[in-house]
Amino acid sequence: MKPTSLTRLFLFAGALAAAPLQASPLSEVAEQAGVTWLIGNWATADGGVKMSFEWRLDKHTIATKMTLPDREAEGTIALKPATTVAGMISVDSKGAVSMGQWSEYEGQPLLKSTIKSDQGEMKLATRYIKQSDNTFQVKVYRQNASGELGEFLVEAELQRAK
C-alpha cells in the first residue's frame, strides 16, 4: 500500500518529535549561519505582502506566516533530526502544501521548495537577500531540471514592520 500525503506528514511530524533531547536548537544553527536577522515581522511598503518569522518551542522551531493578496500560508521550520539541515513545511488557505529545505546561495538564505496543490506541482527557489537590518529583498525562481535557480518569477522588497 502506497503511503498517502497525510501519512507522510504524520511520519515527518513524528520524526521531528522523536528527535534526541540533546539536539541543538535551531537558533544555534541559525546564529552560526548568520540568518537570525529574518526573525520578526516584515511587510512591503504598500502592505500587500506580509511575512513573519517567530521562534517557538525553546527556539527549536520557527513559525512562519505569509500573507499575499490572494492567500495566507503558515508553516514551521525545524532541523531534520541529528543534522544541521533546516526543513520547512507550510499549508496555505487554498489547501496547497509546500515542503522544502533551507540552504545558502551567494551568502544569503535560499529555500528550495515543492508546492503541491489541486493545480499540480511546482518547484521553486526563493532567495532572501538582506539589504540592511530593516530591509530585505525576496526573489522567487522556478527550479530548473537540475534543481538550480531557473526562470525568474517575482521579487518584492520588505521592511521590518513595527
Binned at pLDDT 50, 70 and 90, residue 18 comes out as very low
Task: Please state the rounded mean pLDDT for residues 64-78.
Answer: 97
φ, ψ of residue 102 to 5 degrees: the values are -90, 145
HSE-CB for 146 with a 13 A CA cutoff = 2
Place of cell 492567500: 71
Other Cβ atoms less than 10 A from the Cβ of 137: the count is 14
In this prediction, residue 25 carries a pLDDT of 85
Residue 115: per-residue pLDDT = 97
Looking at the domain 36-160, which fold is it? Lipocalin (2.40.128)
- What residue ranges do the domains of the chain occupy? 36-160
* pLDDT-derived band at 104, boundaries 50, 70, 90: very high
More confidently predicted of 14 and 130:
130
Q: In degrees to the nearest 10, what's the CA dihedral of 130, 135, 136, 137?
A: -130
pLDDT at 82: 87
Q: Which of 18-22, 32-36, 125-129 has the lowest mean pLDDT?
A: 18-22
In terms of pTM, does the model score above 0.85?
Answer: no
| R_g of the chain computed on alpha carbons | 16
For residues 150 and 139, the answer to whether their CB atoms sit within 8 Å is no
